[in-house]
Homo-oligomer: A and B are copies of this chain.
Amino acid sequence: MSQIKLISRASRVLSGAAVRSELTLGEAVSAQPQRNHTSVRTMASQRKTLTIETLNPCIKTLEYAVRGPLVIRAGEIEEELEKGVKKPFKKVIKANIGDAHAMGQQPITFIRQVLACVVNPELIETAKFPADVKQKAKAILAACGGNSVGSYTMSLGIELIRRHVAEYIEKRDGHPSNWQNVVLTGGASNGIKNCLQLLCNQVDGKNSGVLIPIPQYPLYSASLAEYGLGQVGYYLDEDKNWALDLDELERAFVEGSKQYAVRALVVINPGNPTGQVLTRKNIEDIIKFAQKHSLFVFADEVYQYNIYAEDSKFFSFKKVMTEMGKPYSEVELASFMSISKGYMGECGLRGGWMELVNMDPDVQANLYKAISAMLCPTTVGQTAVDCVARPPQPGEPSYCLWIKERTAVLDSLNSRAKMIVETFNNMEGFTCNIVQGAMYAFPRIELPPKAIEAAKAANKKPDVFYAFKLLEETGICIVPGSGFGQRPGTFHFRTTILPQPDVLQEMLDVFKTFHANFTKQYS
């Protein structure tokens, strides 16, 4: 079967309506197993041990909207366009995923020069790269077995780079960071999953539950489903620019505790998909709440560089907690960072880190042991992490270009963040909170009752129905709010702010026309 057919199947699986008919996966798999047919075996049809009935039920439950059916359909449309199929648009605009380079952002020269040198050390001698590039590459190679990035590193990452990350954190927060509590990871997702997995246990006869924001980044819901952990959602307060409301946290905790031993709290700051930047006061309140209920805090801080609103500032949970003193400074915390976001946007290299704070030493030793079975994070990703943790300093040859490129990216994101919000708020039926940080806008849309009926008839959630229409008619790919969670009866979508300014302007113009037509059609 074609890629399209296979992903269409994936799409149906994702939308909970897997259909078996007409789908074949090459001859080898086309002989379908007979279901519930446990004892008879004929020469004609080998009984499969892995069927949808015997599959890990957690994997069945798991969903990941950012790469869900809509994105799959977007890929199909791209293929159709390539084949010359006529559409009312010329290209698909993928505003569904925070993938900066794919949307035209240029890599940071310093990072890529260092990478070239570590993968091909001959360039340290021959290439016309600045001296600090060569020096960093040499230092990293010296820390690799046999001077090669082809060697495994320590499972927790190269010591030199862990030390640089700790120094970065110290400088950021003004408080000590112990490099032995820093673990290099293959993007933030790996670290988050490693830590969530620690919680899989029964406590006081109940399965563990984890508080996650609604709306949330679906890695969390997907991982909780994968590990069979309880998802306990707390709503962010849309009317207060998606702040965390203490009463709502308490409500969710009490509610969740009926079914689960609620043991952890996930906070995404700056917010994904919601774009808020938490105030220091809000973070203090959250830490008090976590301390009161002995919650392990997962601070997803991968957008720490992406702050746009003039009155917003990034405060790490570690910093605020430390400055609150005991007992708050003793809260268990894991903070996550990635090279995929910020000004770097190096998603494809898969690099990141986590800092563990106040983790029980025996638990930490067990975590480190579990990580060791996965050998090591990629050396190239680790190298890029080093470039972020210890970038060129004033006076070094690469500094001027580095600061210029970095500033250009962040300034441009800043203006796009403002442009997108203004445009949405000028559109009939849209309300969009300020994008204080991160890379997304999460506007609320009003959908006419007839559209909601039409969605029902099409067996789709109203926001999914809307998003599919948008995709088919304009080529714009966004993620419906239901993929992240939203208060019942409200509808949103997430769009990145990543298309380059001209494409973004075009996208917003097309969006406006589409929405006006859509509203008219269903009024």
Residues of A in contact with B (beta carbons under 8 Å apart):
1-3, 6-7, 9-10, 12-14, 18, 20, 23-26, 28-29, 31, 33, 38, 41, 43-52, 54-60, 62-64, 67, 97, 99-107, 112-113, 115-116, 119-120, 123, 126-128, 144-146, 148-153, 155, 159, 176, 178, 180-181, 186-187, 189-190, 197-201, 203-204, 218-219, 222-223, 226, 263-264, 291, 294-296, 326-327, 329-332, 344-350, 357-370, 372-381
Contact = CB atoms under 8 A, between A and B. Distances in A.
Given A26-B181, A99-B145, A144-B348, 14 more contacts: A38-B204, A44-B327, A46-B294, A48-B294, A50-B360, A52-B360, A52-B366, A57-B201, A58-B200, A59-B198, A64-B372, A101-B145, A103-B145, A105-B146
Nearest to A97: B152
Contacts of A381: 378
Nearest to A263: B49
A362 B20 contact: yes
Contact of A146 (B18, B50, B104, B294): B104
A372 B69 CA distance: 12
B348 A151 contact: yes
Contacts of A151: 99, 101-102, 347-348
Q: Determine which residue in A189, A199, A332, A375 has the highest number of CB atoms from chain B within 10 A of its CB, and name it.
A: A375
Contact of A373 (B144, B218, B366, B372): B218
A59 B186 contact: no
Nearest to A500: B146
A101 B148 contact: yes
Q: Determine which residue in A29, A33, A180, A361 has the highest number of CB atoms from chain B within 10 A of its CB, and name it.
A: A361
A373 B59 contact: no
A79 to B, nearest CB: 11
Nearest to A33: B360
Contact of A56 (B23, B67, B197): B197
Given A64-B369, A116-B120, A181-B26, A263 B50 contact: yes
Nearest to A218: B373
Q: Determine which residue in A41, A116, A120, A348 has the highest number of CB atoms from chain B within 10 A of its CB, and name it.
A: A348
A29 B97 contact: no
A107 B362 contact: no
Given A9-B361, A178-B25, A180-B3, A54 B197 contact: no
7 contacts: A2-B180, A29-B359, A29-B364, A46-B332, A119-B119, A186-B186, A226-B370
Contact of A370 (B62, B263, B326): B62
Contacts of A370: 59, 62, 222, 226
Nearest to A23: B361
A108 B361 CA distance: 42
A329 B367 CA distance: 41
Nearest to A103: B146
B51 A326 contact: no
Contact of A150 (B119, B201, B346, B358): B346
A62 B153 CA distance: 21
Contacts of A46: 291, 294, 326-327, 330-332, 358
A374 B67 CA distance: 10
Q: Determine which residue in A181, A264, A367, A369 has the highest number of CB atoms from chain B within 10 A of its CB, and name it.
A: A369
A66 to B, nearest CB: 8
Contact of A13 (B31, B64, B366): B366
The 5 lowest CB-CB distance pairs between A and B, nearest first, are: A102-B145, A46-B330, A348-B379, A116-B120, A101-B148
B145 A332 contact: no
Nearest to A376: B348
A97 to B, nearest CB: 7
Contacts of A189: 373-375
A191 to B, nearest CB: 12
A349 B378 contact: yes
A174 B54 CA distance: 33
B218 A380 contact: no
Contacts of A25: 178, 180-181, 359, 361, 364
A214 B216 CA distance: 44
Nearest to A203: B54
Given A374-B189, A381-B378, A365 B56 contact: no
A298 B285 CA distance: 50
Contacts of A148: 101-102, 106-107, 348
A337 B451 CA distance: 50
B359 A50 contact: yes
A59 B367 CA distance: 7
